[in-house]
Structure 1
């Protein structure tokens, strides 16, 4: 059975994509802790963090670094944070978000009722910062598709 994230990657469920490559994608969460909060998700259905091969984890970490740097540039954040929890969907994912302090890095601050327009705007800011940083080859042609240009 496909996970929700596989359905997003396959286009069966809408998503807002900022990154796409052969191994993973990054898309906006629908309940962001901060504007620009992204999920870095392997294309392969891996249930959770400790079940992943080290090469997959290494690739996800590199993509999270690029996404985090784009978030810092796009939102003026002093840091990018990476959180691994994975209780919401049984498909490995890294939460990557612009961060200003450790106290705000809690899922209690998630905003599940964030308007779509705000999610779109935040995603486009991350996409633009990724392009500006030289990662345009990994920014999907359209925000609503993981397909590359």
Structure 2
């Protein structure tokens, strides 16, 4: 069982953004920038392109309102998207508010946000999804 499966099951706490029967979205607790969200399938699959074909399209549709909310909640040019898949053996999509290409540079240092900052980011995105 991966760390993401444990988060989905509620065994590990997370700053949940959205959930449906197939996917779970939550804040990355070591984000590239504030507002960095991970979207994972509830189906435990290691590699992104090993997901069933119907999941690939559904994942983008599930992610769309989250990406739009990120753009509203954080000052950015757009919501960037990346699939890397090296740190956790569970397919996942990164949604990141970006102003330039370097905002998606996974080799640079990650932010260390406080629980209060993470909760504030979570609330901003959820509020933007509703409004």
Tell me, yes or no, if structure 1 residue 20 matches structure 2 residue 16: no
2:75 — aligned with what? 76
> What TM-score do the two structures reach when normalised by structure 2?
0.94
Contact 1:64 1:82 in 2 (8 A): no
Contact 2:27 2:35 in 1 (8 A): yes
1:124 — aligned with what? 123
1:64-103 equivalences in 2 (<5 Å): 64-103=63-102
- Deviates most, 48-57 or 4-13: 48-57
1:136 — aligned with what? none
Per-residue Cα deviation, 1:20-42 (whole angstroms, up to 9, x for no partner):
10110100011101111000001
2:50 — aligned with what? 51
1:33 — aligned with what? 32
Kindly state the Cα deviation for residue 13 of structure 1 after the two structures are TM-superposed: 0.5
Task: State the alpha-carbon separation in 2 of the partners of residues 83 and 106 from structure 1.
Answer: 10
Segments of structure 1 that go 5 or more residues without pairing to the other structure are: 133-149
Contact 1:48 1:91 in 2 (8 A): yes
Kindly state the Cα deviation for residue 113 of structure 1 after the two structures are TM-superposed: 2.3
Cα 1:112–1:101 change in 2 (3 A) is closer
